[in-house]
Structure 1
Amino acid sequence: MKPIKTYTLEEAKGTLENYCAYQERCHKEVVKKLQDMRMIPEAIDVVVVHLLNHDFLNETRFAKTYARGKFRVKKWGRKRITLELKKRDISAFNIKEAFKEISEADYLQTFHELAEKKAQIITETNVYKKRKKLADYLLYRGWESHLVYDKVNELF
């Protein structure tokens, strides 16, 4: 059986500095990583405080980066982004700050482009099934229901 790797406090700090420098992380991910490294709760607190003090860990910055990325790359709507940020224990204030990163004009333009593109590739012949498929797709991606249903009615 392979021996379990143990970390000193300094090794853990270095490892987590690299972990956070590679990509923005939320507190929950960092604590999970430290628990996986078999660190005791007191050591976890020390490392998290160190990361916060040296700006490796910043929840507001994480929320902004996450929201921007999921919107631009995956074309998620506000509801889905909010849900995913809440899963990561991000505060309502930071979620609100994150949405300031997405302009209303970009948001609506992306929504219309996504809806029209998806509407063209749905091969269903029955108009009701076609409408349902488009609505389900957009709702799953986290777009607001009033936008979705207005767009579905406009397209079909």
Structure 2
Amino acid sequence: MEFTFKQILPKIAAYCSYQDRCKQEITNRLLKWEYPEEDIEEVLAWLKDNKFWDESRYAASFVRGKFRGNKWGKRKISMALYQKGVEQNIGKEALNTEIKDEEYYEMALGIARKKVNQLMGKSDEKHIIKGKALQYLAGKGFESEVCFNAVEDVLYELEL
């Protein structure tokens, strides 16, 4: 079933109202509904003009959710935004405005503390605990310097 421009607007507006969407998600949804590919830009322009879609707002919302909800580091969030087709400058801006440096380090420290405590039950060798905790933080997307400082601080706190 093909939709006209006027028929698709309420459907796509409702889709975008439910939660912030990126251009890629909107385009994919329109294609799934078999909307003509050559007319998608017109729909995107209408969504933007009527404030149903804003890539900067999407990026900011995405960054907040992944940082606070999933406890991801900046590297992992940045990569996810890239995979979603968000422009690099918009992603960087969102990361810089949505994540404060102190909050970022506190998050890394909390994750490191939890992981080190978990690992202490399985091993008493400092270098193994340190290596696995560093690897875990890096996997969460934290930069190597942040990982190293957080794990070192936790090991110092615990006098290991």
What TM-score does the superposition give when structure 2 sets the normalisation length? 0.87
Query: Residue 64 of structure 2 is aligned with which of 68, 73, 89?
Result: 68
Could you list the structure 1 runs, at least 4 aligned residues long, displaced by more than 6 angstroms after superposition. Answer: none
Match of 1:96 in 2: 92
User: How far off is 1:148 after superposition?
Assistant: 1.1
What TM-score does the superposition give when structure 1 sets the normalisation length? 0.89
Letter in 2 for 1:70: K
Unaligned ranges ≥5, structure 2: none
Match of 2:129 in 1: 130
Contact kept? 2:24, 2:85, Cα under 8 Å: yes
Alpha-carbon distance in 1 for matches of 2:44, 2:140: 33
RMSD: 1.5
Contact kept? 2:20, 2:58, Cα under 8 Å: yes
Count of residues in Structure 1 that have an aligned counterpart in Structure 2? 152
Correspondence 1:43-62 to 2 at 5 A: 43-62=39-58
Residue 141, structure 1, aligned to residue 140, structure 2 = yes
Query: Residue 11 of structure 1 is aligned with which of 7, 10, 29?
Result: 7
User: How far off is 1:96 after superposition?
Assistant: 2.1
Correspondence 1:98-113 to 2 at 5 A: 98-99=94-95, 100-113=97-110
Contact kept? 2:105, 2:150, Cα under 8 Å: no
Unaligned ranges ≥5, structure 1: none
Alpha-carbon distance in 2 for matches of 1:104, 1:151: 13
